[in-house]
Amino acid sequence: MKMSSKSFGKTKCGEDTTQFTIANENGMKVSFTDFGANIVSIIVPDSQGKAADVALGFDNIAGYEENPPFFGAFVGRHANRIGGARFEINGKVYELDKNDGQNNLHSGFKGYHKFLYDAEVYEEEDITSIEFTRLSPHMEQGFPGNLDVSVTYSLTEANELIVEYLAISDRDTIVNLTNHTYFNLSGHNSGSILDHKLWIKSNEFTPTSIDLIPTGEIRDVTGTPMDFRIMKRIGQEIDTDYEPLRIAGGYDHNYILDINGNEAEKVAEVIDEKSGRKMEIFTDMPGMQFYSGNMLNPVNNSKAGATYEKRYGMCFETQFFPNSCNINSFPSCMLKAGKEFYSVTIYKFSTI
């Protein structure tokens, strides 16, 4: 296991940024930057031993300072959408940025993926970790409470990328942290993900209104194009004339995971038969947003000159349900003052 670092350039404000890379003995390498605690690249071998980067992204800090698609992003304080860009705690209403129509998306105009973090490296024989930490002050983005927050990325010799989230606030607040990496197991610059095969351990999902805010309904996936309980091609039913798919332009939905939530359990598996790569996803969170990259407009300033277009990458955002702070029947993302929030998600890579 090896850890290295190098300059990732200066921000527009003149801040120095660093790229950290962890490499294991199996040819897997993962890179991160202290700007935004973002994942920059995930390099894994295919079934022939040929390594390729399976995460969409940028080559330099300038790309991540803009980053409209949230490539590799550490998302907080609240991932996904909040209806009306407002919520209430203890009788007080908090107003947020309306950066997605009348709603709040991924916490507003400046999410956690656009702040600079302190970094600390921990090295052991079979696992190396890097922890990114910062204090998110009271009312940053409109959220109450001084929040000490960290995300720790670890790489193991079993080709597991482990993502651990930890947060504690001095006031009652809401917390919903996730990662927004776009995966393409054929390689970041290889085109459509529609031939990837996907399995999701979920019997139900949360339908949305026209602006992608959950209505509060919980709907069975049986007999619908949303059903991935038997592995199928992502493109098999993506353009079916089914209202939730029409509204989102494809898959962009919160799946209710069929797990107990007490520990990380396997919730999804993706296979790319072209490269032979396989990715398994484990989490202890109640939901996962599966997003098929429907809103990717051509992104031209990407890694190695690649151009990313619609459905060239897919996201698996483990989370509390969108707008859960306004829907009492959903699992709550409320974090009480002095209580610790912790969750873990694992992306495990192998070949078929």
- Cα separation of 141 and 77, whole Å? 8
Whether residue 43 contacts residue 86, with contact meaning beta carbons closer than 8 Å, is answered with no
Q: Residue type at 250?
A: G
Q: Is 120 a residue of the active site?
A: no
User: What does the block give as tokens for 76?
Assistant: 């907080």
Sort 61 into a burial class: Cβ within 10 Å, 0-12 / 13-18 / 19+: buried
Question: Which SS3 state, helix, strand or coil, does residue 167 take?
Answer: strand
- Its sign, for the CA torsion 313, 118, 342, 282, is positive
Q: Is 180 a residue of the active site?
A: yes
- Cα separation of 182 and 62, whole Å? 18
User: What does the block give as tokens for 200?
Assistant: 């999701």
Whether residue 109 contacts residue 71, with contact meaning beta carbons closer than 8 Å, is answered with no
- Cα separation of 302 and 135, whole Å? 30
DSSP per residue, 48-94: TS-EEE-B---SSHHHHHH-TT-TT-EE-SB-SEEGGGEEEETTEEE
Q: How many residues would you count in the chain?
A: 352
Catalytic residue from among 180, 188, 196, 253: 180
Whether residue 31 contacts residue 41, with contact meaning beta carbons closer than 8 Å, is answered with yes
User: What does the block give as tokens for 212?
Assistant: 């992608």
Active site residues per annotation = 180, 317
